[in-house]
Amino acid sequence: MFMKQFICSVLIASCLPGLALAQTWPSKPIRIVVPYPPGGSSDLVPRLIQPRLSTVLGQSWVVENRPGGDAMIGTDIVAKAAPDGYTLLFTTPATHTQVTHMRRNVPYDPLTDFSPITAAVKQSSFVLVHPGLGVNTFNELIDYAKKNPGKLSYGTAGTGSNFHLAGQIIRQATGIDWVHIPYKGGAPTQQALIAGEVPVAIFSNTSATAGLKAGKIKALAVLDRKRLKDWPDVPSINDFLPAFEKPGEWLGFYGPAKLPEAIVGRLRSEIITALKLPDIEAKLAAVGMEVFGNTPQEFAAMIRRDSDLNRKLLAAAGVKPE
């Protein structure tokens, strides 16, 4: 009997600091680290909900871009932050399901160094070309690459990104030899493609929307099993490569490991409420984003599942950590 009481006392005592923190949180500005430059899809979501979150939480919601190191620099800042709810991460799947399978010296553990909050939105991506390349279909692109081995380059948001992974899968499936050019996010990749700095790129439909509408770039395939309703003339990659498996394309919020459950729950609730406001949901839909908003437990399971899938896809594509 005494032992049971002792164990219960220890458990209660261990919970008290987190409960006390949750009751007073937030009492100062909240920093959201985005490990990519401004202007891309990963930057859009936290900025759209910034006014709403600042109001309902009673503290400033501050978005801070910390790109570099294949998005590992900004991600590692959050991994090593105090679990007090004042430093959060908003990022792509690359930092948690891909980079550890493509880089040797990742400074954090994506499965144990974070508290998943929610996968906030989903998006898709395109294989895109500069009009000057002179190809109009995905098959023409592959034919061009085969006739010019090692001479065709494609840009992505960085080594280890889901776009890089897609490029590797396409290389393996088609037998082409093309050169990967990593940038520090979707916005710089789009700028490089529009400028003709790279003839081909793979990035999100969100980042591609402006360039496509202006006729400055062409979409040859969407990396999804179905065509997108906003771009019905762009064929699915599976029309050309039936076995193509789409890497995860969600964007989500995380805190450092051991973030109190009460804070995780409050953050998830407020984030999803903000994303589902009609004006914000409409702005997201206009750039090809769909509100997702799963639970922390579902998000954690999805990260593990996608990490395992990406490991197998990369191994099949012959990609080894560098």
Q: How many CA atoms lie within 13 A of 71 on its CB side?
A: 34
DSSP state of 235: P
> What is d(CA 99, CA 299) in angstroms, rounded to the nearest whole number?
18
- pLDDT tens track for 6-60: 555 555 555 555 566 567 999 999 999 999 989 888 889 999 999 999 999 999 9
- Mean pLDDT value across the chain: 91
pLDDT grade for 282, boundaries at 50, 70 and 90: very high
Residues in the chain: 322
Instruction: Identify which of 62, 65, 93 has the alpha carbon closest to the alpha carbon of residue 77.
Output: 65
Predicted pLDDT of residue 23: 79
Predicted pLDDT of residue 3: 56
Q: Which residues have CB under 8 Å from 179's CB, separation 6+?
A: 150, 151, 152, 153, 154
* Mean local confidence (pLDDT), 141-160: 94
Predicted pLDDT of residue 6: 52
| Three-state secondary-structure class, residue 66 | coil
Predicted pLDDT of residue 13: 52
- pLDDT tens track for 77-90: 999 999 999 999 99
- pLDDT tens track for 2-16: 555 655 555 555 555
What φ, ψ does residue 276 adopt, rounded to 5°? -90, 5
* Mean local confidence (pLDDT), 67-86: 96
- According to CATH, the superfamily of the domain at 28-122+249-316 is Bordetella uptake gene, domain 1 (3.40.190.150)
Q: Are strands 87-91 and 30-34 parallel, antiparallel or unpaired?
A: parallel
Predicted pLDDT of residue 266: 97
Domain edges within the chain: 28-122+249-316, 125-239
Burial 226-256 (b: 16+ CB within 10 A, else e): ebbeebeebbbbbebbeebbbbbbbbbbbbb
Predicted pLDDT of residue 234: 97
Predicted pLDDT of residue 174: 95
Q: Which residue has the higher pLDDT, 115 or 168?
A: 115
> What is d(CA 48, CA 287) in angstroms, rounded to the nearest whole number?
12
Instruction: Identify which of 121, 125, 123, 124 has the alpha carbon closest to the alpha carbon of residue 291.
Output: 121
Instruction: Please report, rounded to a whole number, the percentage of residues in the chain having pLDDT higher than 90.
Output: 71
| Segment of 33-42, 130-139, 220-229 carrying the highest mean pLDDT | 130-139
- pLDDT tens track for 194-223: 999 999 999 999 889 889 999 999 999 999
Q: Which residue has the higher pLDDT, 247 or 100?
A: 100
Tell me the torsion sign for CA atoms 26, 58, 120, 95: negative
> What is d(CA 105, CA 91) in angstroms, rounded to the nearest whole number?
19
Q: How far is CA 103 from CA 9, 59, 236, 310, 311, in A?
A: 44, 37, 30, 13, 12
Structure tokens at 198: 């790279």
Structure tokens at 100: 């550890």
Instruction: Identify which of 301, 264, 299 has the alpha carbon closest to the alpha carbon of residue 119.
Output: 299
Q: Are strands 290-291 and 114-122 parallel, antiparallel or unpaired?
A: antiparallel
* Mean local confidence (pLDDT), 130-134: 97
Q: How many CA atoms lie within 13 A of 217 on its CB side?
A: 29
CB atoms within 10 A of CB 7: 10
DSSP state of 238: G
* Mean local confidence (pLDDT), 224-239: 93
Predicted pLDDT of residue 88: 98
CATH number given to 125-239: 3.40.190.10
Q: Are strands 61-65 and 30-34 parallel, antiparallel or unpaired?
A: parallel
Tell me the torsion sign for CA atoms 181, 186, 188, 192: positive
pLDDT grade for 314, boundaries at 50, 70 and 90: confident
> What is d(CA 183, CA 164) in angstroms, rounded to the nearest whole number?
10
* Mean local confidence (pLDDT), 217-242: 94
* Mean local confidence (pLDDT), 233-249: 90
The answer to whether residues 88 and 31 touch, using CB atoms and an 8 Å cutoff, is yes
Task: Decide if 28-122+249-316 and 125-239 have a common fold.
Answer: yes
Helical spans, DSSP H, in 25-71: 41-48, 50-57
Q: Which of 2-6, 22-26, 176-180, 273-277 has the lowest mean pLDDT?
A: 2-6
Structure tokens at 84: 């007090």
Predicted pLDDT of residue 63: 97
* H-helix or E-strand spanning residue 291: strand 290-291
